Structure 1
Amino acid sequence: MDNSTINVKAHGKVILIGEHSVVYGKNALAMPIKALNITTTITENKDNENIMNTTHYHGPYLTAPNEYDGLKYVFKTMIEKAKTNQKITVTYTGEIPMERGLGSSAVVAFGTGNALNKYFQLHLSEEEIMAITNHAEMINHGKASGIDSATVKANSIVFFNKNKGPQELNEKLGATLLIMDTGELGNTKEAVSLVRQKYESDTTNQNKIDRLGELANKTKEYWLEHNPKAIGKIFNEAQTILASFDLSTDRINQIVTTAQNNGAFGTKLSGGGLGGIVISLCPNQKTAHDIAQLAQPYFANYWIEEI
């Protein structure tokens, strides 16, 4: 058993297209955001207690607040596999805003599983770690597609279907993505439930979900053709569909309008909605910076990624 310090870094993600429809078996595209990451550090603890250290909580691991339930499942499962009484401290450093659609829960679940696997030399396969991560995501979100887990371990764009799994696309689009955090907490579980109610009550809404899947397929085609303008139009159509499910907010709408009036190819919410983040596809860095300046009253933070 290795009692040295173990560090595992995992990065966040954004869904480009296909949020919500991916839950119904449709395709989606997501991308890793390397600038947003969390490191899981494991050290031995001689105080006879397993401890969790985060920005928001410091205390016994398994009695952490309910929002850590998915993470507690990962920890408990891995400790049972290790068959050990050794006590450890697990520290999370780095910052990915929670409940924004940036994959924070998948990042820490995946990072924790990997770190414990290394620390206790369990030799679990990546598939086994992913299965544990995905179960944690089900606990966190009610019904998880698996796209977050697939993307937080990916190095490039992921074309994802929950029945067929992830496929990485190494092609660059040739555009700039502006990611804006509204500062409003999204709620994936609530958003998924809201969409499900509307989906089950109206065939029009079922058609909209089907359309989001079609738009994801078209996005992949246009991506491989390096056609960001066409993808921008898809973003705008997807935003209209997502807003029709009452997933948009006044702040999201204001960001969308500002971006559309100032040179963006297309803009949409990303993730569950009801808050969270907005992504804007821009022709270049200058346009992205200009939009960020103009939309500043409506967001808490932003990142720019070359894609």
Structure 2
Amino acid sequence: MNKKIEVKAHGKVILIGEHSVVYGYDALALPIQALNITTTVEETDGPTWMDTTHYHGAFFDAPDEYDGIKYIVKTLLERVENAPNLKITYTGEIPMERGFGSSAVVALGTTKAVSQFLGLTLSEAEIMEITNHAEMINHGKASGLDAATVNSDYLVFFNKQDGPKQLSQKLGATLLIMDTGELGNTKVAVQSVKKQMDESDLKKKQIARLGELATATRQNWFNQNAEEIGKIFNEAEDILASFKLSTERIDNICKIANENGALGAKLSGGGLGGIVIALCPNQEVAKKIAEKAKANFDNDWIEEI
């Protein structure tokens, strides 16, 4: 019998709180079911093997960018006597360096699929511990927000002090996500924000305001007040743009969205490229905005929230 285990994990977007979350303020992130990667594990007669869109070869000879999942597989194989050689295949695509949580998706999928294949009964806490350690290897520093959100079917409310909390409440609105095709650079963006804060009390106050807006978003979410959250998105975008984190494409998309029925629009993630989210009252408005703004982005997704 050819045993095969498949695990699908989905991506995420940060709704609000990017950058301010670094300084201990609140953030909200949303799982995106439309973006996912499936990890498939089966036994192989050859060496333990990896198949991805970008790499086909011996698993432990993969480039450094795969060090996080190499850690996962090595850790799990060491828990089994006479462990088999595995073929691990990744299918599906989540754009890299856009703020969709692609590395956390692969880390979580690998941990779950390999542990199931080996018959390891890991607790949820053990799965998340291994996933987050892989994320630390990938990024040097990880808050745990990405891993928590790609493992959740619900909105995640997060701050450094309390960690992640799931919010099952629906807002009753539609989210349009547009990928500008421009690679973001979170590390550069975070360094730039810190430098500006070090040099200006106004910038410190603006980051504190972003944190306040994230807290307000949570309360308005419970009240299903999408209109107010839309206004919050626009204010947050103004603040993020003042830190020079926006681009011409992001500015254009936000302008078109707000002129065509969006409740609000903003960049999502580190900025300097990446994705834009537009909060819409319904799918019809989201589709209209996507059509009007399509010259400014590579791809789009619509999520009911």
- TM, length-normalised to structure 2: 0.94
Between 231-240 and 59-68, the greater mean CA deviation after superposition: 59-68
1:91-102 alignment runs, 5 A limit: 91-102=89-100
1:192-247 Cα deviation digits (max 9, x unpaired): 33333333443332222221111111001111111111101110111112222222
The reply on whether 1:62 has 2:60 as its aligned counterpart is yes
- Where 2:169 maps in the other structure, the secondary structure is coil
Amino acid in the other structure paired with 2:57: G
1:101-125 Cα deviation digits (max 9, x unpaired): 1111110001111111111222222
Partner Cα separation in structure 1 for residue 135 and residue 199 of structure 2: 26
Native 8 Å contact 1:117 1:124 kept in 2: yes
Partner Cα separation in structure 1 for residue 242 and residue 284 of structure 2: 31
How far residue 85 of structure 1 moved from its aligned partner, in angstroms, is: 4.6
Amino acid in the other structure paired with 1:116: V
1:195-214 alignment runs, 5 A limit: 195-214=193-212
Partner Cα separation in structure 1 for residue 56 and residue 127 of structure 2: 25
Could you tell me which of 153, 164, 167 is aligned with 1:166? Answer: 164
Partner Cα separation in structure 1 for residue 139 and residue 202 of structure 2: 25
Amino acid in the other structure paired with 2:159: N
1:29-69 Cα deviation digits (max 9, x unpaired): 1111111111111111111x121111111112222223323
How far residue 262 of structure 1 moved from its aligned partner, in angstroms, is: 1.4
Partner Cα separation in structure 1 for residue 301 and residue 18 of structure 2: 20
1:45-194 alignment runs, 5 A limit: 45-47=44-46, 49-82=47-80, 84-194=82-192
The reply on whether 1:30 has 2:23 as its aligned counterpart is no
| 1:51–1:237 CA distance, 2 compared to 1 (3 A) | same
Partner Cα separation in structure 1 for residue 141 and residue 22 of structure 2: 7
How far residue 19 of structure 1 moved from its aligned partner, in angstroms, is: 1.2
| Residue aligning to 1:218 | 216
How far residue 70 of structure 1 moved from its aligned partner, in angstroms, is: 2.4
- TM, length-normalised to structure 1: 0.93
| Residue aligning to 1:263 | 261
Number of aligned residue pairs: give it.
305
Native 8 Å contact 1:3 1:119 kept in 2: no
Native 8 Å contact 1:181 1:276 kept in 2: yes
Amino acid in the other structure paired with 1:215: L
| Residue aligning to 1:41 | 40
- Where 1:19 maps in the other structure, the secondary structure is coil
The reply on whether 1:281 has 2:279 as its aligned counterpart is yes
Native 8 Å contact 1:142 1:189 kept in 2: no
- Where 1:81 maps in the other structure, the secondary structure is coil
Partner Cα separation in structure 2 for residue 82 and residue 295 of structure 1: 52
Percent identity reads 62
- Where 1:183 maps in the other structure, the secondary structure is coil
| Residue aligning to 1:16 | 15
Which runs of 5 or more residues in structure 2 are unaligned?
none
1:73-128 Cα deviation digits (max 9, x unpaired): 32233233345552111101111111111111110001111111111222222112
Amino acid in the other structure paired with 2:195: Q
| 1:188–1:299 CA distance, 2 compared to 1 (3 A) | same
Amino acid in the other structure paired with 2:257: A
Partner Cα separation in structure 1 for residue 290 and residue 240 of structure 2: 22
Partner Cα separation in structure 2 for residue 83 and residue 254 of structure 1: 57
Partner Cα separation in structure 2 for residue 178 and residue 219 of structure 1: 17
How far residue 139 of structure 1 moved from its aligned partner, in angstroms, is: 2.7
Partner Cα separation in structure 2 for residue 175 and residue 72 of structure 1: 40
Partner Cα separation in structure 1 for residue 269 and residue 39 of structure 2: 24
| Residue aligning to 1:4 | 3
| 1:46–1:15 CA distance, 2 compared to 1 (3 A) | same
Partner Cα separation in structure 1 for residue 194 and residue 89 of structure 2: 36
Native 8 Å contact 1:232 1:266 kept in 2: yes
| Residue aligning to 2:301 | 303
